[in-house]
Structure 1
Amino acid sequence: MTVAAPDRAALGEFLRERRGRIGPGDVGLPVSGRRRTPGLRREEVAQLAGVGVTWYTWLEQGRARNVSDQVLDAVARVLRLDAAERRHLLALAGREAAVAPGPPAEVRPEQLAVLEQLLPYPAAIQTDCYDLLAANRAYRYLFDDLDARPPDERNCAWLMFTDPRWRAALGDTEDVVLHNIAARLRAREPEHRDDPRWSALLARLRATSPDFVRHWESYDVAGDGTQLRRYRSARVGRLEVHFQSLWLDRARGDRVILMTPADDATRQRLERLDALVGAAPATTTRDDAVSRADVVAGGVVDR
């Protein structure tokens, strides 16, 4: 197993940003007078973490080498990092396994069979950087016809940030969902620093979407977990779903994303959506992702 090389500059930047979010009162320090900078001072973090002020200053300046786990744990505790933020801190410090660059995972026939069995609920196979490798027909037509997109645009982050039809489906939750996507990408980016697919996606998003830049530069990070999301389908109207990930390879981040109804009205609308598009094949894949075994028992692979 290889580990991600430490990125000391990014580590320092992350610590400075997080230090600015914690006030003295949050950690039991007295609040007196006007402070020139928001958040804690460096010497306060150092004192609370039990490390030298010079050492902590070097840490924020990207000059500290061979930082111990004990120091990282202490600083994470003082800055009140949650589980996703702590994982990101460890990745920047070179403590997390690096994901070996390589082509997207190959979609296997038995995985397509699972997508078919999940109908009428939308489901797709997605990578850690949001590439959509396969989908059932409910997901294919949820926001637009996914198959109308060229393969290099079949990426949920790209479509949500750049395509008006996909963004319109987010309704009043647009900012929340977009922020979560950017935060999840930032959380996992250190482990994929040498992966050209990741660097290409982030470069395209920065160059194309001011909203992505805004959310990315908040330095928020987020982990994976079931979420309640609201969408508006052009075909069947308002949907309220539980959005969750079923892992295929947690280390690489490959997953089945699944939307299950949060209420009866959504269940009925998803059933109606599947009926409206029922003439389409049950599943569809990107040509560069499908396994060489193209026949799925009980289903059809749309090539």
Structure 2
Amino acid sequence: MTSTGLRRDELAAFLRTRRARLRPAEVGLPEGVRRRTPGLRRQEVAQLAGMSVDYYVRLEQGRGPHPSRQVLAALARALLLTRDEREYLFRVAGESPPPSAGPSREVGPGLQHLVDAMTETPAYLVDACYQVLAWNRMATYFIGDLSTVPPEDRNMIRWSFRRPAEDAQWTDEELLRFLRSSVADLRASYGRYPNDPGLRQLVTELLGTSPRFAQLWAEHDVGERHPIVKRVAHPGLGPLEFECRVLHVPEGDQRLIVYVPGPGSPTHAAFRGLAERVSS
């Protein structure tokens, strides 16, 4: 490691392995003649990144100057690096990773299948701004049928702070803990995605419309959500008690929120009965 934090050997090895895994067709290049080794050639990576072949060769050999942030960003694009790989590239080069443009709102088929497969448990997926991205049929009995709601209005935090000032739920200590935790998590996202217009718009809107949100936001608490026990007087199912689990999905910086009743509890029985009615 150099005094600048550049780990030349690790950077060189990482570039070589990322280059070797790519096929020319993946980056829009012709396959051409038979290749002696798998992956792209060094000159092809240099061409894609807009740099000289000599400069790139020296990087792969663990020598040469400290790569600039612009060079690292170009290499990340040329090698089709994932978000985690891009972050690693910057760190081994002794640089702070650039902030991501914004929260991921893509729902992979595996996650969608997982949400749908929870037939006896309300579950829904949110992004780092608490925009609801996916939900199962059980969840509609708690958060409504969001297929009838415009996508821009499917935000949990916006719903929470739209409650009128006289709403009795503002005296619920568990609700207040839930909201405080949510706002702290939202502030953490605000730090990760400073350039996301949707997140900035949400915060600006709530600061102007909700004194309660403004008060919590001004406390500058930062932290991820933790599980809490929720007690709900459901209009169709009666009194319920369940643990609200928040499971983080690292690759998309998303959260899977699941309502988990105690085994054999009255809430467990109510959820099972609801699931049977929904499926019949």
TM-score range with shorter-chain normalisation? 0.5 to 0.7
CA distance in 1, matches of 2:119, 2:96: 36
CA distance in 1, matches of 2:140, 2:99: 29
Kindly indicate whether the alpha-carbon contact (under 8 Å) linking 2:101 and 2:196 is maintained by their aligned counterparts in 1. Answer: yes
Per the alignment, residue 274 of structure 1 pairs with 275
Per the alignment, residue 180 of structure 1 pairs with 181
Deviation (angstroms), 1:145? 3.2
Return the TM-score normalized by structure 1. Answer: 0.53
Percentage of pairs with the same residue: 27
Per the alignment, residue 138 of structure 2 pairs with 138
Kindly indicate whether the alpha-carbon contact (under 8 Å) linking 2:103 and 2:128 is maintained by their aligned counterparts in 1. Answer: no
Letter in 1 for 2:221: D
Deviation (angstroms), 1:130? 0.4
CA separation of 1:254/1:167 partners in 2, compared to 1, >3 Å: closer, same or farther? farther
Deviation (angstroms), 1:97? 4.9
Deviation (angstroms), 1:173? 2.2
Kindly indicate whether the alpha-carbon contact (under 8 Å) linking 1:171 and 1:231 is maintained by their aligned counterparts in 2. Answer: no
1:141-199 residue CA offsets vs partner (Å, 9 max, x unmatched): 214333332211111111111156x9959955222211111121123321111111211
Secondary structure of the structure 1 residue equivalent to 2:271: helix
Per the alignment, residue 52 of structure 1 pairs with none
Deviation (angstroms), 1:267? 0.8
Per the alignment, residue 152 of structure 1 pairs with 152
More helix by share: 2
**1:213 and 2:224 aligned:** no
Letter in 2 for 1:112: Q
Secondary structure of the structure 1 residue equivalent to 2:229: strand
Kindly indicate whether the alpha-carbon contact (under 8 Å) linking 2:261 and 2:268 is maintained by their aligned counterparts in 1. Answer: yes
**Mind listing any 5+ residue stretches in structure 1 that lack a counterpart?**
1-94, 280-303
Bigger Cα displacement from structure 2, 222-231 vs 181-190: 222-231
CA distance in 1, matches of 2:210, 2:274: 30
Bigger Cα displacement from structure 2, 127-136 vs 254-263: 254-263
Bigger Cα displacement from structure 2, 122-131 vs 103-112: 103-112
CA distance in 2, matches of 1:170, 1:270: 27
1:192-251 residue CA offsets vs partner (Å, 9 max, x unmatched): 111112111111211222211121112222223333233332321222222223333x26
Letter in 2 for 1:157: I
Kindly indicate whether the alpha-carbon contact (under 8 Å) linking 1:123 and 1:135 is maintained by their aligned counterparts in 2. Answer: yes
Over the residues paired in the alignment, what is the CA RMSD in angstroms?
2.9
Secondary structure of the structure 1 residue equivalent to 2:239: strand
Kindly indicate whether the alpha-carbon contact (under 8 Å) linking 2:178 and 2:228 is maintained by their aligned counterparts in 1. Answer: no
- Paired residues in the alignment total 183
Kindly indicate whether structure 1 or structure 2 has the higher relative contact order, using CA contacts under 8 Å at least 6 residues apart: 1
